[in-house]
Amino acid sequence: MSDVRLIDAPLEVAFDNVAVDTQGFEREYSRMSESEDDAIGQWLRNAKAKGETSESDPVAIHLLVELYRKMDRLENLILNTAPQRIDLTQSGAIGRIGFEHFELLEPLLVTGENYYGRLELPVHPKRDTALYFEALSPVLAKIIRIHPRDESEWGSYMMARERAMIRHLKGHE
């Protein structure tokens, strides 16, 4: 485990052992994929592929799409039609993350067991991220399955935390 590079990153994760509800977790994971969860994003990608956005301001388009997503979330909240999530029985605080790993602050995992979890990355836009992970120790987990867009955002968040840590260290020399 000495080759795992981790940096400080305070996050919360809810999780459960995969064996508890394998099919339910798989259905939820599939529903939380980019295409299921983001109809406007799918539409925008199709429009870009057809060249329909070539003369548009990309920043304005991005802001309008985010505004649409917020209105969609508000509508779901008002109508009580927000996507139902499976109740996950355990939760824990993540203290450090790496590109494929994270470390809990407390020993909550059983070494060798696989888990399904959800967390909210503090990136724009905020949304639930579903992932499968394997316990390498009671506190260390290796991410074994995550949606491609979520993996990209996880890596971006990790690099942003690392840059912030470097800036902090340079300021205290």
pLDDT band at 37 (very low <50, low <70, confident <90, very high): low
- Average pLDDT on 32-43 reads 67
Asked if residue 153 belongs to a domain, the reply is: yes
- Supply the range of the domain harboring residue 144: 7-36+86-171
CB 25 within 8 A of CB 83: no
Asked if residue 93 belongs to a domain, the reply is: yes
* Model confidence pTM above 0.85: no
CB 85 within 8 A of CB 101: no
CB 139 within 8 A of CB 6: no
Dist CA 8 CA 77 (whole Å) = 33
For the stretch 11-36, pLDDT in tens is 999 999 999 999 999 999 998 875 55
> How many domains are there within the chain?
1
| pLDDT value, residue 43 | 78
| pLDDT value, residue 93 | 97
Asked if residue 18 belongs to a domain, the reply is: yes
pLDDT band at 41 (very low <50, low <70, confident <90, very high): confident
Query: Which residue shows structure tokens 């209105």?
Result: 71
Asked if residue 23 belongs to a domain, the reply is: yes
Asked if residue 136 belongs to a domain, the reply is: yes
Q: Quote the tokens at residue 70.
A: 């917020």
Asked if residue 51 belongs to a domain, the reply is: no
Asked if residue 47 belongs to a domain, the reply is: no
118 burial (CB, 10 Å; 0-12 / 13-18 / 19+) is buried
Asked if residue 59 belongs to a domain, the reply is: no
Dist CA 127 CA 82 (whole Å) = 13
User: What CATH number is associated with residue 155?
Assistant: 2.40.10
